Structure 1
Amino acid sequence: MLKQTAHDLVMAAKAQIQECTPQQAAEQLAAGQRLVLDVREADEYAAGHLPGAVNIPRGVLEFRLSADAAMANSAQPLLVYCKSGGRSALAARVLQEMGYSQVLSVAGGFDACVAAGLPVAAPPSISYS
């Protein structure tokens, strides 16, 4: 039996999905053209995320989308990101398999967005004074 690594699965998914650069993602966000899904874990999202992003962790994505009537429109353009692009590539592939026809994954993920200087929604600073 041929074993595939996580890297193999991500590379196979990337061959079947569309990716965009952080700059292209910023343009789409500014135009309000896509619903933004952050597929990182809740603690990652809480530490900082793209403005307006909805957090649905990769591990529960299929279940949450199937149970959420607001996500029933499979023609809704989606922008998906994670920390570095692996989970979002897998998520984008699954979304396509679920019938979503307009899915983009952000190449390089949240880390690339931060490096490109995109705005980030972060939790308020705690002051101890």
Structure 2
Amino acid sequence: MELVKEAKAEIREMDLQQAHGKHQSEEVVIIDVRETHEFSGGHIPGAHHISRGMLEFKADSHPALKDKDREILVYCKTGGRAALAAQQLKKMGYTNVHSIQGGMDAWDDADHPVHKP
């Protein structure tokens, strides 16, 4: 948890209401860093899946992440993995990265849209 605390001190978190507004306007790239089985169970519509463990290997070649200045929202279940992922993306040169405060649990609790395949 100390690593998550350090990451949150270095990144920007976006509150749920603002993240929902950005999602509706399609202004951002949304990255789900949860594991495949979590993503398959339901995710924010339009989110791209790159599990936290594969982020450093896949980010640079992912078509949605070609523009390192584009706004990116990252989320996981509750926020820890997303904070670590946002911190890593920042280190990789992405300039406009936020994690979604509260993650998928908060998104779902607020009754925002969830894609369930």
TM-score, normalised to structure 2, is 0.95
Considering only CA atoms, is the larger Rg found in Structure 1 or Structure 2?
1
In structure 2, the residue matched to 1:85 is 79
- Name structure 2 gaps, 5 residues minimum: none
Question: What is the CA–CA distance in structure 1 between the aligned matches of 2:5 and 2:27, rounded to whole Å?
Answer: 27
In structure 2, the residue matched to 1:103 is 97
- Count of residue correspondences: 117
> Quick one: percent identity of the two aligned structures?
45
State how 1:48-63 maps to structure 2 within 5 Å.
48-63=42-57
One-letter code aligned to 1:41: E
Q: Which has the higher helix share?
A: 2
2:68 aligns with one of 62, 74, 88:
74
- Name structure 1 gaps, 5 residues minimum: 1-6, 124-129
Question: What is the CA–CA distance in structure 1 between the aligned matches of 2:29 and 2:39, rounded to whole Å?
Answer: 16
Question: What is the CA–CA distance in structure 1 between the aligned matches of 2:115 and 2:33, rounded to whole Å?
Answer: 16
One-letter code aligned to 2:3: L
Asked if the contact 2:29/2:64 (under 8 Å) is kept, the reply is no
Asked if the contact 1:49/1:122 (under 8 Å) is kept, the reply is yes
Residue 38 in structure 1 maps to residue 38 in structure 2: no
Superposition CA RMSD, Å: 1.0
The structural deviation recorded for 1:69 is 5.1
The structural deviation recorded for 1:71 is 2.2
Q: Which moved more, 1:84-93 or 1:21-30?
A: 21-30
One-letter code aligned to 2:89: L
The structural deviation recorded for 1:117 is 1.3
The structural deviation recorded for 1:70 is 4.8
**Deviation digits for residues 18-57 of structure 1, max 9, x if unmatched?**
1012211100001111000000011100000000000000
